[in-house]
Structure 1
Amino acid sequence: MRIPGVSGDQGPLAVRLLFRVLGKVPAPLRIYGRRPNILATFLALGRAVRRQGEFPERLKRLAMYRTARVIECAF
């Protein structure tokens, strides 16, 4: 059973505005849009990870590379 994602004209006002600002929204964010508190937490996590100065860029790239190798991602 797949969970249907929220489209651009569904969901709470904050989710609709966010999707309008982002334009093309990936499927996981559409699913998180069903629960705005989870979506907000996920976006905050993404901002914290990408924040400059927290970790050296080399370490971030190494973590991304190793994660891709572990899950056998082609990217």
Structure 2
Amino acid sequence: MSGEDLSDAVWHKSSYSGGNGGSCVEVASLSGGRVGVRDSKDRSGPVLVFTPAEWRAFLAGVKSGEFDGQG
């Protein structure tokens, strides 16, 4: 979503994130049911925007262990 205004987005960091500045992402609910994801250490950096279907598929993959061992 190039050029989308995200200035009013309310970002949420995982409760699993520690206060030590480690690697973490933040998510925000956007208009149309979309979800924005950004690096918590680079808040002015790029944002990935997922459609509702893409976000559901991603969450299903996380829950099923599809991404375990990645990285």
Quickly name the TM-score band, shorter chain normalised: 0.3 to 0.5
When normalised by structure 1's length, the TM-score is 0.34
Larger Rg belongs to? 1
More strand by share: 2
